[in-house]
Amino acid sequence: MAKKKSKSAASKSKSKSTTKTKPSQSKTGKRKSAPSDNPNVQRLQRAMASAGVGSRRECEEIILAGRVEVDGQVVNKLGTKVDITTQTITVDAQDVRAEKLQYFILNKPPGVLSTSNDPSGRIRVIDLINTRNRVYNVGRLDKSSEGLILVTNDGDLANKLTHPKFGVEKKYHVQVVGHPNPDSLKALTQGVYLAEGRAKASAVKYLKRAKETSWIEITLTEGRNREIRRLLAKIGHKVRVLRRVSIGSLKLGDLPSGAHRELTPYELKALQRISKPKRASRAKKIKPRDLADVKEQAKVPFGKPSKSSKKKKSARTVEPKRPKSSTRGDSGRGAARAKPTGKPVKKKTRGKKRRK
């Protein structure tokens, strides 16, 4: 008996030790990855974006192309964790180092390209920015468009401002040929079918009207290639001038064409606040006292009143009717002075009495 007890105790201790050493698993059966204590450890594409290599999407394409090396080894898998402060990361044999984050607002003139690489050597947006750090533009404006464009080396903020799930609004002032009617402007908010699918503006506002042209304000939350020009072409109006005037809370103001400046701390905080994802609205909860009525109504077939509704109708008190007065009309002086007994009230004769 003693040997059996000792065996059972040993088996219990083994099972306890094995349960302790097992890694935590989720309900789906997948193992949970333990969070790293070091704040400098982050995903490779995020570290590259924060270092100013490009936006996060561009960094992902660079990694998949096999152009990135970490400690001398080629890395082509997304999600690889690195520490940019201790490990050496190279892109096309050039070292990637953490730089100071900078934020610029530029009033792009027409004719300037919003791209990071142009084989023809034409003027780019980043050529107009006076900085030694490697920066890139957030979003794009086509060659003939003008207005506000944000230039930075903060890849996280750039991704949030351009991704459709964050819903950051961009406003444009557009001069079109002709005078669009309200129905055609309403069609832009309802949706127009383009080659890649259905596209629509979140808001359209009529600004002013000239002899042959009109100025309208269009608000978008997603950016496609030449989207505004194609939307207006669908309703039969050609674009003459296309100017972006705001990105979220950041406004162009009176900044001259071709000029740039750094963002103020207030403007930067406002942009970071706007770029946070919006919480979904919670469904209204039914009060506990109404649950019984809801269950009863669910059992009763459609069109038939429930028992609770019948009881409520029967429980109502009926007020007794007031007796009608014998005077003419219920709203005269006699009705107001009538006694509660219901007896008729004698009318007073007006004027002088007749002489006998």
Task: Respond yes or no: is residue 92 known to be catalytic.
Answer: no
Please choose, from the candidates 106, 182, 99, the residue with its C-alpha nearest in 3D space to the C-alpha of residue 138: 106
Cβ distance 141 to 301 under 8 Å?
Answer: no
The values of phi and psi at residue 60, to 5°, are -65, -40
- Residue whose C-alpha is closest to residue 135's, from 169, 167, 158, 109: 158
**H or E segment at 324?**
none
- Helices of type H across the chain: 2-21, 44-50, 56-64, 155-162, 182-190, 227-234, 265-274, 291-299, 307-314, 333-336
Q: 256: which strand partners?
A: none
Could you give the dihedral angle defined by the CA atoms of residues 292, 294, 295 and 296, in that order, rounded to the nearest 10 degrees? Answer: 90
The length of the chain in residues reads 356
**Under a CB-based contact definition with an 8 Å cutoff, are residues 170 and 223 in contact?**
yes
- From the candidates 83, 142, 156, 293, give the one annotated as an active-site residue: 142
Radius of gyration over every alpha carbon of the chain, rounded to an integer in angstroms: 37
* Catalytic residue numbers, as ranges: 142
